[in-house]
């Protein structure tokens, strides 16, 4: 079977890119290893391996992309804007604050439940005639020559051989495609797991997002739909996760949140089920080789400390779309190796800046040396007082200066 483009991996990045391509009148075959759920109104957004209990802080740029796709009205039903960001360190004097009103923007971005984002994306993909969706399929081989890339896969008792001008590998941190092509990756284990859940507080969130650095790990508290619901992402030391998981530890978890945040959010009253995810940085040594380009976590998996990972992937996808539409307009080869290398080169500056920033924050705030704490908090005060810094940081965080 011949196809212009095959996307391997139907997570949020793969689905989003497929919809971008379809809007540009480019047909695509989308392969996903896991069977997708069937949605109904009684179970609005069941968890799936790609759309789990986590929430994503969509940057302003990512929101704009979904608006261009005509999806934002549906997505906004389970999203809430971030109008203010407060950054502090437990037991220290430094504090930084960003306000959307001061930066003259409607919001810095929107927090959305991944399960709902996945439902909306998948529903649209299933309705799009230019997208041939095959789920429950396991890719077993990826090869390429001058004319096309070839994928072998199995689906139940069926064996598939698929050829395409271009293969986009968006198959996750442990990408099979990346390994099949012999592309190495640098891996740094942060020795952390992210504890993820939703909590209810006595004070309304007021559309404020908190980043609170503590001795346990960098704690993010983000507003969710409903005045008193907040998303929690708390990276803690690997091996301590059992202390925070399970219903029997609900009160212990709430008490730890209370101690870390104080009364800024009022009383932490209820917690949902907690989930944990290992945290590591995985960076592919190459992102384009021949007729294959890596996308999403297959290209770069980063720490969630600043909520930039998915937004970086969305910018990658949007730029790749531009290169592909230019090729299509010229009736040129969509899998041209030189074009894909140009795409990779065009994205390196933005990628390296975000990767370095996130890694530096994690490493810098993990060190409890008193002298370093003074330097960190002096930096937060400088951020708060020196003119010109806030707009620059805000624009980068919103993805507007990529």
Q: Is the pLDDT of residue 382 over 80?
A: no
Q: In which band, very low, low, confident or very high, does the pLDDT at 380 lie, cut at 50, 70 and 90?
A: low
Q: Which domain does 105 fall in, by range?
A: 2-397
- Kindly state whether residue 159 falls inside one of the protein's structural domains: yes
Residue 107 pLDDT: 84
As a whole number of Å, the end-to-end CA separation of the chain is: 37
Q: What SS3 state is found at 123?
A: helix
User: DSSP characters for 160-178?
Assistant: EEEEEEEEEE---TT-HHH
- Kindly state whether residue 366 falls inside one of the protein's structural domains: yes
Spatial neighbors of 399 by CB under 8 A, at least 6 apart, are 59, 60, 61, 62, 311, 314, 315
Residue 280 pLDDT: 94
Residue 31 pLDDT: 97
CA–CA gap between residue 180 and residue 175 (Å, rounded): 9
Residue 108 pLDDT: 83
- Kindly state whether residue 377 falls inside one of the protein's structural domains: yes
Q: Contact 165/5 with Cβ under 8 angstroms?
A: yes
Q: Is the pLDDT of residue 94 over 70?
A: no
- Kindly state whether residue 402 falls inside one of the protein's structural domains: no
Q: In which band, very low, low, confident or very high, does the pLDDT at 400 lie, cut at 50, 70 and 90?
A: low
CA distances from 26 to 36, 321, 325 (A): 23, 10, 8
The predicted model gives 352-360 an average pLDDT of: 85
Q: Contact 267/199 with Cβ under 8 angstroms?
A: no
The overall average pLDDT reported for the chain is 86
Give residue-wise pLDDT tens across range 211-260: 887 777 778 899 998 899 999 998 889 999 999 999 999 999 999 999 98
Q: Is the pLDDT of residue 371 over 50?
A: no
Q: In which band, very low, low, confident or very high, does the pLDDT at 376 lie, cut at 50, 70 and 90?
A: low
Give residue-wise pLDDT tens across range 40-86: 665 566 666 666 678 899 998 999 999 999 999 999 988 999 998 88
Backbone angles phi, psi at 383, to 5 degrees: -60, -40
CA–CA gap between residue 15 and residue 391 (Å, rounded): 32
- Kindly state whether residue 137 falls inside one of the protein's structural domains: yes
Give the pairing type, strands 185-201 and 275-284: antiparallel
Residue 363 pLDDT: 67
Residue 101 pLDDT: 79
Residue 391 pLDDT: 54
CA–CA gap between residue 319 and residue 373 (Å, rounded): 39
Q: In which band, very low, low, confident or very high, does the pLDDT at 299 lie, cut at 50, 70 and 90?
A: very high
* Helix extents (H) in 289-369: 309-329, 337-366
| Domains of the chain: total | 1
With vertex at residue 380, the alpha carbon angle to CA 311 and CA 90, rounded to the nearest 5 degrees, is: 90
The predicted model gives 370-379 an average pLDDT of: 53
Q: Which helix (H) or strand (E) holds 109?
A: strand 109-113
Give residue-wise pLDDT tens across range 247-271: 999 999 999 999 988 888 899 999 9
Q: Contact 249/106 with Cβ under 8 angstroms?
A: no
- Kindly state whether residue 177 falls inside one of the protein's structural domains: yes
The predicted model gives 333-359 an average pLDDT of: 93
Q: What is the CATH number of the domain that holds 171?
A: 3.50.50.60
Per-residue b or e along 121-148, where b marks 16 or more CB atoms closer than 10 Å to that residue's CB: bbebbeebeebbbbeebebeebebeeeb
Q: What SS3 state is found at 276?
A: strand
- Kindly state whether residue 363 falls inside one of the protein's structural domains: yes
């Amino acid at each position: 079977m011949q196809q212009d483009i095959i996307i391997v991996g139907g997570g949020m990045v793969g689905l989003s890119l497929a919809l971008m391509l379809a809007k540009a009148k480019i047909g695509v075959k989308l392969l996903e290893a896991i069977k997708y759920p069937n949605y109904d109104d009684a179970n609005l957004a069941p968890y799936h391996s790609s759309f789990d209990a986590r929430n994503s802080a969509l940057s302003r740029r990512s929101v704009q992309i979904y608006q261009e796709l005509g999806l934002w009205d549906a997505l906004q039903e389970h999203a809430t804007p971030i109008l203010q960001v407060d950054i502090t360190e437990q037991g220290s004097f430094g504090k930084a604050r960003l306000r959307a009103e001061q930066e003259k923007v409607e919001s810095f971005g929107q927090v959305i439940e991944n399960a709902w984002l996945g439902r909306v994306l998948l529903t649209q993909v299933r309705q799009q005639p230019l997208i041939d969706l095959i789920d429950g399929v396991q890719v077993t081989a990826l090869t390429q020559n001058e004319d096309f890339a070839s994928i072998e896969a199995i689906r139940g008792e069926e064996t598939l051989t698929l050829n395409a001008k271009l293969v986009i590998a968006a198959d996750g941190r442990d990408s099979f495609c990346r390994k099949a092509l012999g592309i190495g990756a640098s891996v740094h284990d942060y020795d952390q797991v992210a504890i993820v859940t939703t909590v209810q507080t006595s004070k309304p969130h007021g559309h404020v997002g908190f980043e609170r650095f503590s001795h346990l790990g960098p704690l993010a508290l983000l507003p969710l739909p409903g005045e008193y619901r907040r998303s929690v992402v708390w990276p803690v030391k690997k091996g301590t996760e059992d202390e925070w998981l399970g219903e029997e530890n609900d009160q212990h978890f709430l008490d730890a949140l209370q101690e870390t945040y104080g009364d800024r959010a009022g009383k932490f009253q209820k917690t949902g089920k907690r989930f944990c995810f290992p945290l590591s940085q995985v960076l592919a040594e190459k992102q384009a080789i021949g007729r294959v380009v890596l996308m999403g976590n297959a290209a770069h998996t980063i720490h969630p400390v600043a909520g930039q990972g998915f937004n970086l992937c969305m910018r990658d996808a949007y730029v790749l779309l531009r290169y592909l539409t230019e090729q299509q307009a010229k009736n040129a080869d969509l899998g041209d190796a030189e074009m894909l290398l140009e795409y990779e080169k065009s994205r390196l500056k933005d990628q390296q800046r975000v990767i370095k920033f996130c890694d530096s924050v994690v490493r810098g705030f993990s060190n409890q040396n008193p002298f370093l704490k003074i330097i960190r908090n002096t930096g937060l005060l400088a951020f708060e007082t020196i003119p010109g810094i806030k707009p620059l940081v805000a624009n980068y965080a919103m993805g507007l200066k990529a």
